[in-house]
Amino acid sequence: MLRVRDVSLSYGGEPVLEGASLAVGDGQFVSLVGPSGSGKSSLLRVIIGLQTPIAGIVECSYRRSEIGILFQDDALLPWKTARENVALGLTLNGMDRRDAVAQADHWLGRLGLAGFEDRYPRRLSGGQRKRVALAQVLARKPKLILMDEPFASLDAIVRARVVADVVALVEQQKISVLLVTHDLEEALSLSDAVYLLSQGPRARITQEYNVPIPRPRDPVRSRLHPSFATLYEKLWSDLSREVGGEHAQPARDDAAEAA
């Protein structure tokens, strides 16, 4: 499990986070939402160890090699094929090349990329590149995956498909996930728990929402669950209050009716 306790972070004396706490249990899917610039990515960097907090601690029962990371920009090497990109992470970890290639092909196949193993990243669509990046992470058998707006660059249909595959795979493999997103519907439809980070500076985690939608989840059908509209309305109004009165994104009609 991952536990962040009372983390405060500053950049050169400028406060960003103040006393932020959250927990991700084994096999739990947790999202962190909050206004742009509130410190979501910074909190992930603290968790990975790329930033040192001025106060607080991160407790993590997983080794560094058991943690996968998926960011908005995929980190595929342009001069390597999809297969070589996935296999590389495994050979660097000491797996012999033949096993690494077999594992790469297995995971590319599970992500719907059979037949694309020899393609270079520039000859793959955005959705396909995202799947290769996912295969890279999953092939290393992570216990926890940290995601920072990983689907933001994908268009709606591709995104829905990639997200459905992610949910199915992390449920099957019992992988814990901490997802940073500004998309409230995505957070609620995927997660067991959602944390809200307040507007910075000195952002704190002000709310935790439990999402009682059963698993296995279909992220699209999750939105039809009776608790979804109520939770969406609550999360949206709490977030709007944080951002300060602006209603750039209207509440969903069905959410408004349910409230």
Ligand X SMILES: Nc1ncnc2c1ncn2[C@@H]1O[C@H](COP(=O)(O)OP(=O)(O)O)[C@@H](O)[C@H]1O
Report the interface residues with Mg ion, using CB under 5 A: 41
Token readout for 70 is 């998926």
Token readout for 51 is 């930033």
CA 95/CA 89 separation, integer angstroms: 9
256 phi/psi in degrees, rounded to 5? -65, -40
- Of 84 and 149, which CB lies nearer to ligand X in the complex structure? 149
Do the beta carbons of residue 39 and residue 9 sit within 8 Å? yes
Identify residues 55-94 at the interface with ligand X (CB under 6 A): none
Burial class (CB in 10 A: 0-12, 13-18, 19+), 14: exposed
- Of 38 and 191, which CB lies nearer to ligand X in the complex structure? 38
Do the beta carbons of residue 186 and residue 163 sit within 8 Å? yes
% helix, strand, coil for the chain, step of 5: 40, 25, 35
Give which of ligand X, Mg ion, none residue 34 binds (C-beta under 5 to 8 Å, depending on kind).
ligand X
Q: Does 42 interact with ligand X (rule: CB under 6 A)?
A: yes
Site string for ligand X, 197-216 (x = CB under 6 A): ---x----------------
Q: Does 121 interact with ligand X (rule: CB under 6 A)?
A: no
- Distance in Å, CB of 41 to Mg ion, minimum: 3
Give which of Mg ion, ligand X, none residue 36 binds (C-beta under 5 to 8 Å, depending on kind).
ligand X
- Of 34 and 121, which CB lies nearer to ligand X in the complex structure? 34
- Of 37 and 212, which CB lies nearer to ligand X in the complex structure? 37
* Ramachandran bin of 49, using left for φ above 0, alpha for ψ from -120 to 50, beta for the remaining angles: left
- Of 36 and 94, which CB lies nearer to ligand X in the complex structure? 36
Q: Does 40 interact with ligand X (rule: CB under 6 A)?
A: yes
Strands 193-197 and 205-210, by their bridges, are: antiparallel
- Which stretch, 36-44, 70-78, 225-233, 246-254, contacts ligand X (CB under 6 A)? 36-44
Q: Does 36 interact with ligand X (rule: CB under 6 A)?
A: yes
Residue, CB closest to Mg ion: 41
Burial class (CB in 10 A: 0-12, 13-18, 19+), 257: exposed
Give which of ligand X, Mg ion, none residue 79 binds (C-beta under 5 to 8 Å, depending on kind).
none
Among 8, 28, 31, 38, binds ligand X (CB under 6 A): 38
- Of 55 and 114, which CB lies nearer to ligand X in the complex structure? 55
CA 94/CA 89 separation, integer angstroms: 9
Strands 176-180 and 29-33, by their bridges, are: parallel
- Which residues of this chain interact with ligand X, rule CB under 6 A? 11, 16, 34, 36-42, 200
